[in-house]
Amino acid sequence: MSDTLTGTAAVEPFDAVDVIRAKRDGGRVDEDALRWMIDAFTRGYVADSQMAAFAMAVLLNGMDRDEIRVMTDAMIASGERMSFAGLGKPTVDKHSTGGVGDKITLPLAPLVAAFGVAVPQLSGRGLGHTGGTLDKLESIPGWRAALTNDEMTAQLRDIGAVICAAGSGLAPADKRLYALRDVTGTVEAIPLIASSIMSKKIAEGTDALVLDVKFGSGAFMKDFDRARELARTMVELGTDSGVRTTALLTDMNTPLGLAIGNANEVRESVEVLAGGGPADVVELTVALAREMLALAGQPDADVAAALRDGRAMDAWRRMIQAQDGDPDAALPVPNETHTVVAPRDGYVTRLDAYGFGVAAWRLGAGRARAEDPVLHSAGIDLHAKPGDRVAAGQPLFTLGGPDDSRFTRALDALDGAWELGDAAPEGTPLVRERIAATS
């Protein structure tokens, strides 16, 4: 007689306490037990307190490559898995670990699409000092982030680029586990970070993936060696799951570009698509596009030419229009501004990405809680970057917002976040290292 008919509970094949002990004592967790742990947590059998204990054990003792692969696969199996096999063209995605002024997805997706490659870019919203791609795009009147799978597939087939919100059906186990990690001091565990990111990206169904893993003051990973470890772990995960994956390690000690916010970052992205824009934004956009196109079978694509000749801009306009946005509409502008000027002649030697990210957040460009709104006109425009010579009284940066009520707290965040010196600082590369799959 079945358990349902007899009213007895189904017998679970494993015990959460045994799984926790195995990892607590520095051992490996058996594949079947690890798959069960993720599934049982997703359906509510394993309690939050037990999964929190397991996450802490992972933070302290780590996981080997196969354990991370199994956990990621189990998280993927907790939800739907998309497929773009019927598109008739290669698909490649990009994921950034987040930074200040990082608007690269906006020009990158249409640039790669201009070469006949489909870019299914499932993006998120900002929280804290790092901006969100969807928040930036929602500065454009009419633009919508929510698409059905059918709409997404049709847009990829017709235009080649989609930037939209991820559906709730992708890796629901990760959503539960991430919320738990956030309140238990286990966010920093590299196996859990890598599994969180890659479970959603692999479930998305893309053929290839390029990772932009940032390090420095404005990045999630401050330390370069830790960022490299995360990059290697994610490249291995993608490779083990049959997704061609590479990573670039990029510097986030200084804000990227000259715009930090939402509407102003859209303007800067359009400048890049028009063949202009700040040199660092162009450099990283081109570097990531070359990586993506190489994985899609076009290693010799002339990426810079597509920015110069308007092909990327055409793809941008069609992408925005397909999601009900008006690419010609005026973007929000601040009603009030406050400009900080150089107190003396000298060189800009430092603009701390974290300080400027917090200041933009306090202006309303970001959110403290997931449900908070963002102010699309709020943000910071930089007028000089490290290495630039400035004269006394010359503008360094401008704060903007709907009113001036937030300026004082934003300026407090910038106290000590910028410096002038008598000599230009030594330049550092924006792209520090490339990580590729190994056997």
pLDDT computed for residue 169 by the predictor: 85
- Tell me what percent of the chain is helix, strand and coil, each rounded to the nearest 5: 45, 15, 40
The mean per-residue pLDDT over the stretch 66-94 comes to 94
pLDDT computed for residue 439 by the predictor: 59
Produce one character per residue of 51-60: b if its CB has 16 or more CB atoms within 10 Å, e if not.
bbbbbbbbbe
Question: Which helix (H) or strand (E) is 342 found in, with range?
Answer: none
pLDDT tens, residue by residue, 269-292: 999 999 999 999 999 999 999 999
CB 425 within 8 A of CB 358: no
pLDDT at 383 exceeding the cut of 90: yes
| Co-location of 23 and 111 in the same domain | no
pLDDT at 2 exceeding the cut of 70: no
Give the Cα separation of 130 and 354 in Å (integer).
9
pLDDT at 182 exceeding the cut of 90: no
pLDDT at 6 exceeding the cut of 80: no
pLDDT computed for residue 9 by the predictor: 63
pLDDT band at 178; cut points 50, 70, 90: confident
Share of the chain above pLDDT 70, in %: 97
433 within a domain of the structure (yes/no): no
The mean per-residue pLDDT over the stretch 396-410 comes to 96
| Co-location of 152 and 57 in the same domain | no
Collapse the DSSP code of 180 into the 3-class scheme (helix H, G, I; strand E, B; otherwise coil) and give the result.
helix
| Co-location of 248 and 314 in the same domain | yes
295 within a domain of the structure (yes/no): yes
| Domain, as residue range, for 98 | 85-329
pLDDT computed for residue 179 by the predictor: 87
pLDDT computed for residue 10 by the predictor: 74
| Co-location of 320 and 344 in the same domain | no
The mean per-residue pLDDT over the stretch 219-243 comes to 95
| Co-location of 160 and 256 in the same domain | yes
Distances from the Cα of 289 to the Cαs of 99, 101, 162, 255, 296, in angstroms? Answer: 18, 18, 15, 20, 10
pLDDT computed for residue 8 by the predictor: 56
| Co-location of 90 and 196 in the same domain | yes
Q: Sort 43 into a burial class: Cβ within 10 Å, 0-12 / 13-18 / 19+.
A: exposed
pLDDT computed for residue 127 by the predictor: 66
What are the catalytic residues? 95, 174, 181, 196, 200
| Co-location of 145 and 226 in the same domain | yes
Q: Sort 44 into a burial class: Cβ within 10 Å, 0-12 / 13-18 / 19+.
A: exposed
Q: What is the mean pLDDT of the chain?
A: 94
pLDDT at 205 exceeding the cut of 60: yes
pLDDT at 392 exceeding the cut of 60: yes
Of 329, 363, 387, the residue at which a domain comes to its end is 329
**Total number of domains constituting the chain:** 3
404 within a domain of the structure (yes/no): yes
CB 100 within 8 A of CB 218: yes
pLDDT tens, residue by residue, 97-132: 999 999 999 999 999 999 999 999 998 877 667 778
The mean per-residue pLDDT over the stretch 367-389 comes to 91
pLDDT tens, residue by residue, 287-306: 999 999 999 999 999 999 99
76 within a domain of the structure (yes/no): no
78 within a domain of the structure (yes/no): no
| Co-location of 160 and 58 in the same domain | no
CATH number of the domain to which 120 belongs: 3.40.1030.10
